[in-house]
Amino acid sequence: DTGVSQDPRHKITKRGQNVTFRCDPISEHNRLYWYRQTLGQGPEFLTYFQNEAQLEKSRLLSDRFSAERPKGSFSTLEIQRTEQGDSAMYLCASSLPVSGYTFGSGTRLTVV
Amino acid sequence: DAKTTQPPSMDCAEGRAANLPCNHSTISGNEYVYWYRQIHSQGPQYIIHGLKNNETNEMASLIITEDRKSSTLILPHATLRDTAVYYCIVRVEAGANSKLTFGKGITLSVRP
- Is the pLDDT reported for residue B88 higher than 60? yes
Task: Identify the CA nearest to A61 among candidates A73, A74, A49, A71.
Answer: A49
Q: Which of B85, B100, B105 lies closest to A101 in CB terms?
A: B100
DSSP strand pairing (A88-95 vs A102-103): antiparallel
**Which segments of chain A have a pLDDT < 70?**
1, 98
Confidence of residue B94 (pLDDT cuts 50, 70, 90): low
Confidence of residue B40 (pLDDT cuts 50, 70, 90): confident
- Is the pLDDT reported for residue B95 higher than 70? no
Radius of gyration (Cα) for chain B, nearest Å?
Answer: 13
pLDDT at position B68, please?
Answer: 95
Cα–Cα dist B86/B106, whole Å = 5
Give A53's contacts in chain B (Cβ within 8 Å): none
Q: Which of B43, B99, B104 lies closest to A42 in CB terms?
A: B104
pLDDT at position A67, please?
Answer: 96
pLDDT at position A5, please?
Answer: 96
User: pLDDT (tens digit, 9 = 90+) per residue, A42-64?
Assistant: 999 999 999 999 988 998 888 99
Q: Where is pLDDT greater, at B101 or B106?
A: B106
What is the dihedral sign for C-alpha B62, B65, B69, B74? Answer: negative
What lies within 8 Å, CB to CB, of B48 at 6+ separation is B34, B35, B55, B56, B57, B59, B60, B61, B62, B73
User: pLDDT (tens digit, 9 = 90+) per residue, B69-84?
Assistant: 999 999 999 999 999 9
pLDDT at position A42, please?
Answer: 93
Q: Do B44 and A101 touch (CB under 8 A)?
A: yes
CA A17 to chain B, closest CA, distance in angstroms equals 25
- Is the pLDDT reported for residue B97 higher than 70? no
pLDDT at position B1, please?
Answer: 57
Q: Do B96 and A56 touch (CB under 8 A)?
A: yes
pLDDT at position B70, please?
Answer: 96
CA A5 to chain B, closest CA, distance in angstroms equals 11
pLDDT at position A100, please?
Answer: 81
DSSP state of B102: -
- Nearest-by-CA chain B residue for A34: B99
Cα–Cα dist B99/B91, whole Å = 7
